[in-house]
């Protein structure tokens, strides 16, 4: 099943067109890899430097306590999650950074956090279980609270902004530390085999195009839920029909759920 693969592939093409910093094997390795188009080098780091505390339920950052907001004001604040069984798309745990890291940012800026999750080949065999698991994995973000990194999520507006605390920056907060906490949290779900997390702050990145992908990926998940409710409907008037028409595997699930229903 390749429900999200087209979007993941196209987003990764966008990502690869920009110079980026990659942190691989963040759960087990004291290495990170810095990559750009002209140079690659591996730098050994003290693994202890990658640790960062969580704030549990007490992660409130007031305006006078924050250094800036990622996705603040009228800036883009894009969040997207996709699932794939293709190792070519997600082969290992990886954190990718495009644009300035947290310590280099001085003002509110456009921001995106993308998550691509590798699951088993038979993940979608039981569609109801798959949908439930996907939502559980997605909701992980509501339970991740890196100290000094307060997420402000609006599902209605499809936004995920972040307030970054002044003190946290002085103590060494950066995307690698945040990414490691997220990666560990996603791996608490047994179905997760690998996670690629992408943080973007580059001002020139095509956020509008990225947002279109993010919206479609959420529509895919919503379409899956719609299908699994076993609703008998006239596909010709369904507002999710464009998603079913474009996404490989969606119509297959639709017919499987609704039997003889004609699309």
Show the beta-strand stretches assigned E in the chain. Answer: 20-24, 31-35, 40-44, 66-70, 77-84, 94-98, 111-118, 149-154, 159-165, 194-200
The pLDDT of residue 252 is above 90: no
What the chain holds in terms of domains, given with CATH numbers, is 5-204 (3.30.1650.10)
The SS3 assignment for 243 reads helix
Region 6-17 average pLDDT: 94
Of 102, 115, 169, 111, the residue nearest 144 (C-alpha): 115
Distance CA 126, CA 68 (A): 43
How many other CB atoms are found less than 10 A from the CB of residue 162? 23
Return the pLDDT at 248.
Answer: 55
Return the pLDDT at 138.
Answer: 95
Return the CA Rg of the chain: 19
The mean-pLDDT minimum among 4-8, 40-44, 154-158, 180-184 falls in: 40-44
How far does CA 160 lie from the centroid of its chain? 11
Q: Which long-range contacts (CB under 8 A, 24 or more apart) does 119-125 make?
A: 119/83, 119/84, 119/85, 119/191, 119/192, 119/193, 120/85, 120/191, 120/193, 121/85, 123/1, 123/83, 123/85, 123/191, 124/1, 124/3, 124/249, 124/253
Quickly state the pLDDT bin for 42 (edges 50, 70, 90). Answer: very low
Return the pLDDT at 228.
Answer: 66
pLDDT tens readout for residues 194-235: 999 999 999 999 999 999 999 999 988 888 777 666 555 556
Distance CA 217, CA 243 (A): 9
Is 7 exposed, middle or buried, given 0-12, 13-18 or 19+ CB atoms closer than 10 A? Answer: buried
């Amino acid at each position: 099943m390749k429900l999200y693969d087209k979007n993941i592939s196209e987003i990764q093409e966008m990502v690869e067109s920009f110079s980026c910093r990659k942190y691989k094997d963040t759960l087990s390795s004291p290495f990170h890899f810095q990559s750009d188009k002209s140079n690659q080098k591996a730098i050994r780091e003290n693994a202890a430097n990658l640790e960062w505390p969580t704030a549990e339920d007490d992660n409130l950052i007031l305006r006078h306590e924050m250094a800036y907001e990622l996705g603040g004001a009228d800036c883009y604040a894009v969040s997207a999650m996709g699932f794939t069984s293709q190792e070519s798309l997600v082969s290992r745990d990886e954190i990718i950074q495009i644009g300035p890291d947290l310590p280099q940012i001085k003002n509110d800026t456009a921001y995106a956090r993308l998550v691509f999750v590798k699951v088993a080949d038979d993940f979608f065999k039981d569609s109801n279980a798959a949908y439930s698991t996907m939502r559980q994995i997605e909701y992980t973000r509501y339970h991740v609270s890196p100290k000094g990194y307060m997420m402000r999520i609006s599902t209605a507006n499809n936004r995920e902004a972040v307030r970054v605390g002044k003190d946290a920056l002085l103590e060494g907060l950066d995307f690698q530390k945040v990414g490691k906490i997220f990666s560990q949290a996603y791996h608490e779900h047994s179905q997760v085999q690998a996670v690629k997390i992408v943080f973007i702050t580059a001002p020139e990145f095509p956020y509008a195009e990225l947002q279109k992908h993010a919206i479609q990926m959420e529509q895919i998940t919503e379409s899956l839920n719609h299908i699994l409710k076993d609703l008998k409907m006239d596909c010709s008037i369904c507002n999710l029909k464009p998603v079913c028409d474009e996404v490989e595997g969606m119509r297959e699930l639709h017919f499987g759920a609704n039997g003889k229903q004609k699309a």
